[in-house]
Amino acid sequence: MKEKSHELRCTGCGARIAGTDATSNFRCAQCGELYEVVYPWSSDGANLPNAGALRWLWQERRSSTLPIDQSGVWRFRDLLPILDDPSHAVTLREGNTPLYELPRCGKIAGVDWLLAKHQGMNPTGSFKDTGMTAALSVAAERGFKVVACASTGNTSAAMAAYAARAGLTSIVFIPEGKIAWGKLSQSMDYGALTIQLKSDFDGCVRVLNDLVKRLPIYMLNSVNPYRLEGQKTPALEMVEQMDWQVPEHVIVPGGNLANSSALGKGFEEMKRLGLISRVPKISVIQAHGANPLYRAMQASGGEQLEPVVADTRATAIRIGNPASWKKAVRIIRATGGWVEEVSEQEIAQAKAEIGAEGIGCEPASAVTLAGLKKLTRDGRIGREERVVLLLTGHTLKDPEYTIDFHRGTLFSNQEASSLRKPPIVLEAQTEAVLKTLESSIQL
Ligand code: F0G
């Protein structure tokens, strides 16, 4: 009999089940909590893969022309053996994202060494691709014909693209009028059935949860534990890019709160295998208007979470009732990280600062820099700590936000920021242009 490559373990009661036995909403039938994927080596020291051999293998695969080797997720497939046959992977060559230095943002935030892992440089422009290649490949291998997700826009874009590659039908549920145009256009472009519900993200989740109980639809929200197996690989890639050094701190935006624990799983597994000697602190930053985790930490140290009605122009993280909050609390506590909230103005300013370094990101990603500034200001992060910001989405996802910021129409009380670069309209006459140049820039 073929040895089981993995199981699902309930994060609440610890019950273990075969991957194929999960209920359609990925909740434990005993206690209702979420699952995580575990491998024979997760608890058994005898089955530990060899760290040196893995490093060598992952490096070797970089020069291969095989699609799964060219994927920045499946290149690490030894740590995510979730498919019966890895050649079934549905890949757009996701991952392989750059790790950029942000010297000017570092200076502003008060740290000597600031890096950005830009997950917006994925095929559909967000970090969701790394998780989607994993979970959608599982869906395809198990013979599902229809996949669906509720989304603030990026998950739906990723799902639609990967479903199209695999020839599956995809259904997207998004809150009407509350996602960025770039994202909405993607799900249509990739041929998804796009349903805009007159509700918010949390309402979309509720409807989808009902539907999957009645129809043979495979759910690809981040409660699906296979998503997180893909989303843990940026942790591996980051450390590899740093020559197997570990940063002191990794900062991520918090929405539905799955990504923080996915990265944490990646770091914890690397430590277990001896690839690294310690795990960085993982901190989560929320927008003030969508801050249920921040409130939960303040009120009860993360014991209980009260859903909120969410509102922020960082629409990706406009979520009031995050599904994976307990997983996030666990990893934040285990690593000694923090939870912070930032205002709309702080997000806009930070986004412009990242843009001014030639990097750019979507508003939700910029909460990381805004949060870092708060954490350094009161000494929770020291100047000498090496910090990596997880930039989760590409700047072109939400150009309307960027234009509104530069035109000064983002908020009614938008402060004059020196970073604002509104477009200048002139007659097509050289003298007029010269005059403007002389008063605008140093020549
Ligand atoms: N950043 C971006 C750009 C996102 O799209 C999301 C989530 C997050 C951060 C938060 O990550 O949910 O793991 O805490 N977007 C989801 C979506 C909800 O539907 O695209 P999280």
Residues 18 and 119 in one domain: no
Cβ of 151 closer than 6 Å to ligand 1, yes or no, is yes
How far does the centroid of ligand 1 lie from the alpha carbon of residue 425, in Å?
36
Residue 296 maps to a domain: yes
Identify which of 382, 385, 276, 290 has the alpha carbon closest to the alpha carbon of residue 339: 290
Cβ of 259 closer than 6 Å to ligand 1, yes or no, is yes
Structural domain count, the chain: 2
Residue 186 maps to a domain: no
Residues 239 and 308 in one domain: yes
**290-308 pLDDT per residue, tens:** 999 999 999 999 999 999 9
Residues 253 and 346 in one domain: yes
Cβ of 126 closer than 6 Å to ligand 1, yes or no, is yes
Residues 307 and 401 in one domain: yes
Residue among 317, 319, 325, 394 whose CB has most ligand 1 atoms within 8 A, to mutate: 317
How far does the centroid of ligand 1 lie from the alpha carbon of residue 439, in Å?
42
**389-418 pLDDT per residue, tens:** 999 999 999 999 999 999 999 987 767 678
Residue 104 maps to a domain: yes
Residues 264 and 324 in one domain: yes
How far does the centroid of ligand 1 lie from the alpha carbon of residue 178, in Å?
14
> What average pLDDT is seen over the chain?
96
**22-43 pLDDT per residue, tens:** 999 999 999 999 999 999 999 8
Residue among 173, 256, 305, 321 whose CB has most ligand 1 atoms within 8 A, to mutate: 256
- List the beta bridge partners of residue 218: 147
Residue 179 maps to a domain: no
Choose the weakest-confidence range: 3-17, 251-265, 407-421.
Answer: 407-421
Residue 401 maps to a domain: yes
Q: Is the pLDDT of residue 273 over 60?
A: yes
| Distance separating alpha carbons of residues 404 and 400, to the nearest angstrom | 6
Residues 350 and 284 in one domain: yes
Model pTM greater than 0.95? Answer: yes
Residues 119 and 9 in one domain: no
Cβ of 393 closer than 6 Å to ligand 1, yes or no, is yes
Residue 264 maps to a domain: yes
Cβ of 153 closer than 6 Å to ligand 1, yes or no, is yes
Taking the CA of residue 221 as reference, the ligand 1 atom at the shortest distance is 19
For 15, residues 6+ apart whose C-beta sits below 8 A from its C-beta are 9, 28, 30, 31
| Distance separating alpha carbons of residues 254 and 294, to the nearest angstrom | 10
| Distance separating alpha carbons of residues 107 and 356, to the nearest angstrom | 13
Task: Evaluate whether 125 touches 157 at the Cβ level (below 8 Å).
Answer: yes
For 185, residues 6+ apart whose C-beta sits below 8 A from its C-beta are none
Longest Cα–Cα distance of the chain, Å, equals 82
Domain range for 43: 1-48
**416-438 pLDDT per residue, tens:** 678 999 999 999 999 999 999 99
**304-324 pLDDT per residue, tens:** 999 999 999 999 999 999 999
Q: How would you list the strands of the sheet with 193-197, edge to edge? A: 193-197, 169-175, 146-150, 218-219
Taking the CA of residue 252 as reference, the ligand 1 atom at the shortest distance is 9
Residue 251 maps to a domain: yes
State the pLDDT at residue 109: 98
| Distance separating alpha carbons of residues 262 and 268, to the nearest angstrom | 10
